[in-house]
Structure 1
Amino acid sequence: MGKHLLAFCLCLVASLAARAQEFRANVSVQAAQLGTNVEKRIFNTLQTALNEFINGRRWTDDAFTQGERIECNFLLNVTQDLGNNTYRASLTVQAARPVYNTNYNSSILNIQDNNLVFRYVEFQPMEFNEQRISGNDPLASNLTAVVAYYCYIILGLDYDSFSPRGGDNYFKKALNIVNNAPDGKDVSGWKAFEGNRNRYWLQDNLLNVKFARFHDVMYTYHRLGLDQMYDDMNKGRAAVMNCLNMLMGIHEDQPNSMVMQSFFNAKNDELMKLFAKAPPQEKMRAIQMLSVLDVPNANKYQQMK
């Protein structure tokens, strides 16, 4: 009986290991800008709670091995104490996916969200319910709603990079959060009229048929581009060049979109490295397109000449 119990336990452990959580997230909470009157210990507790919320929760129905977990960083920078356990902060989110046959991770998201106000009482549970996102206290729910939103955006982009339109289900989960987001004084970033660079517009672009080619770009860039470069550098780089042509088509139809800005925020350094050693004609064509597609980094691309 003892041997059977031991075998069962070993199988259970192996099963749990095979179904590891989706993220290997590093969460950091900083509050250096707050005055000395604020008890800083609370933010250490919050950091631990957010780590457990992201890394300990099951976000998909798929089995992830330890090696498949998505590398990501969440930096919550608390900038203002608004009183009543309420804080204003910015959230920087970065995520990457591995490139086949290399030790290199390719950035898929690098975004800063400056519209985060939340309430947190030390040791309060990190609650998130997809059927009741706003909860009893919109300000308390706003933090977990924002973090969950970006977890689903990361999952969508990651799945898109491995299979055609693979991320749709997760972008729809982000849309569900947007549609049912907490609402109240100081809560912002969830509505279209609040600006053209916020959570609403990112998920809108990712699900809007006008940006359907963007998902082709995510797959082609990573699976047919980066993942092929170990075997054939020229073939892989040609696939990335094809992606620039597709992105140019999106830009011409939908200029100044958030999803394009998000893509180049994640990819500009990588693209420079990819084309820095390309043949002169190919490099010049890349510089021309990149300077149009990613105006904020145009000067960086010109340095490749």
Structure 2
Amino acid sequence: MHKKALSLLIILCVSALYNYATAQEIRANVSVVANQISGATDKRIFNTLQSALTEFINGRKWSDDGFTTAERIDCNFMLNINQDLGSNMYRASLTVQATRPVYNSGYLTSILNTMDANVAFKYVEFQPLEFSENRVAGNDAMVSNLTATVAFYVYIVLGLDYDSFSPRGGDNFFKKAQNIVNNAPDGKDISGWKAFEGTNNRYWLQDNLLNARFSRFHDVVYQYHRNGLDVMYDDMIKGRAAILNCLNLMQAIYQDNPNNILLQMFFRSKADELQKIYSKAPPQEKARAVEILSQIDVPNAARYQALKTAK
């Protein structure tokens, strides 16, 4: 091989290895919506914030693992600003959605679909968005609360994704989310980080994900994806049976704690998918799935019951 060609090949290989080792984990589509804000507020600031959040999420390295561009996790982060509190402070809701590819198919399955209604923050146009795991609260709690909240959900997404590929694979990320909760910003307009503020907030999400009482949930996430969805292309019957086993595990979780936040989170992501999976199942298998789903996912019970008459 010519020396120039060999040198170019070496450079390309080194570059590829570098890109593999440094590629970020998240590929997020970020939108900041401010339709409810009227009056003198300059809407341009929200476009600037959208760009800043996009760079904050997509440009940051969130783990020590190497990701190729194709392996990045696809997400949607929508910050819906519903109140201008004055002095560059706002109240918003944050919707986070994330997907995972299913082996041997072009199908993307939802691993998270959640909405956090309690995000208060301060943002001055063009101010840098900063976050440190060692100093979560920062100098200004209202400034730090936005990046702390976004980082919290990035770690939840990473944890669920890793859980879906290996048993308890996401624990390290759930612990990072716990660290954010333990060191979260504090202030009169800030909520969602404390146990006494509700039963369905950031505190309880990370608590349940790391609570040994709900360890079976991690078995569900892994088995549902690796033993269920990932084998369906080659063996639909085997994959569907694995998912039915997951429903049995979730029924046990439900019987232990009917209002468990993890089950609520799971079914917000999977209800449509489960309905499609069992719409074509044999009658006996379908009946068992409908029986369990109607009990443990009450908000969607009517949809599951309709499967009984589906052909």
- The interval holding the TM-score normalised by the smaller chain is over 0.9
Give 1:274's aligned residue.
277
Q: Partners of 2:10 and 2:71 in 1: how far apart?
A: 25
Give 1:296's aligned residue.
299
Q: CA deviation at 1:228?
A: 0.4
Mark the runs of 5 or more structure 2 residues left unpaired by the alignment.
none
Query: Is 1:88 the equivalent of 2:121?
Result: no
SS at match of 2:192: coil
| Counterpart selection for 1:63 from 66, 74, 77 | 66
Per-residue Cα deviation, 1:155-200 (whole angstroms, up to 9, x for no partner): 0000000000000000000000000000011000000000000000
Q: Partners of 2:95 and 2:264 in 1: how far apart?
A: 15
The alpha-carbon distance between structure 1 residues 279 and 2, as it changes in their structure 2 partners (threshold 3 A), is closer
| Counterpart selection for 2:51 from 43, 48, 65 | 48
SS at match of 2:173: helix
The alpha-carbon distance between structure 1 residues 84 and 247, as it changes in their structure 2 partners (threshold 3 A), is same
Q: CA deviation at 1:7?
A: 6.2
| Counterpart selection for 1:39 from 42, 57, 81 | 42
The alpha-carbon distance between structure 1 residues 84 and 18, as it changes in their structure 2 partners (threshold 3 A), is same
The alpha-carbon distance between structure 1 residues 3 and 225, as it changes in their structure 2 partners (threshold 3 A), is closer
**Which TM-score applies when normalising by structure 2?**
0.95
Give 1:97's aligned residue.
100
Give 1:174's aligned residue.
177
| Counterpart selection for 1:223 from 210, 226, 239 | 226
Give 1:248's aligned residue.
251
User: Which residue type is aligned with residue 248 of structure 2?
Assistant: N
Deviating above 2 A after TM superposition, structure 1's stretches of 4 or more consecutive aligned residues are 1-13
The alpha-carbon distance between structure 1 residues 126 and 246, as it changes in their structure 2 partners (threshold 3 A), is same
Q: Partners of 2:295 and 2:104 in 1: how far apart?
A: 32
Q: CA deviation at 1:132?
A: 0.2
Give 2:19's aligned residue.
17
Q: Partners of 2:7 and 2:283 in 1: how far apart?
A: 66
The alpha-carbon distance between structure 1 residues 271 and 138, as it changes in their structure 2 partners (threshold 3 A), is same
Q: CA deviation at 1:2?
A: 8.8
Q: Partners of 1:70 and 1:191 in 2: how far apart?
A: 29
1:132-151 equivalences in 2 (<5 Å): 132-151=135-154
Give 2:112's aligned residue.
109
Q: CA deviation at 1:211?
A: 0.3
User: Which residue type is aligned with residue 18 of structure 2?
Assistant: L
Give 1:153's aligned residue.
156
Per-residue Cα deviation, 1:78-125 (whole angstroms, up to 9, x for no partner): 001000000000000000100000000110100000000000000111
Q: Partners of 2:250 and 2:172 in 1: how far apart?
A: 23
RMSD of Structure 2 on Structure 1 (CA) = 1.5
Per-residue Cα deviation, 1:41-73 (whole angstroms, up to 9, x for no partner): 101010011111111100011111111110110
How many percent of aligned residue pairs carry the same amino acid?
Answer: 66
User: Aligned pairs, how many?
Assistant: 305
Give 2:77's aligned residue.
74
Q: Partners of 1:37 and 1:79 in 2: how far apart?
A: 15
SS at match of 1:112: strand
SS at match of 2:307: coil
Q: Partners of 1:139 and 1:226 in 2: how far apart?
A: 41
User: Which residue type is aligned with residue 81 of structure 1?
Assistant: D
Give 1:199's aligned residue.
202
Q: Partners of 2:213 and 2:104 in 1: how far apart?
A: 34
User: Which residue type is aligned with residue 225 of structure 1?
Assistant: G
Mark the runs of 5 or more structure 1 residues left unpaired by the alignment.
none
Q: Partners of 1:208 and 1:201 in 2: how far apart?
A: 10
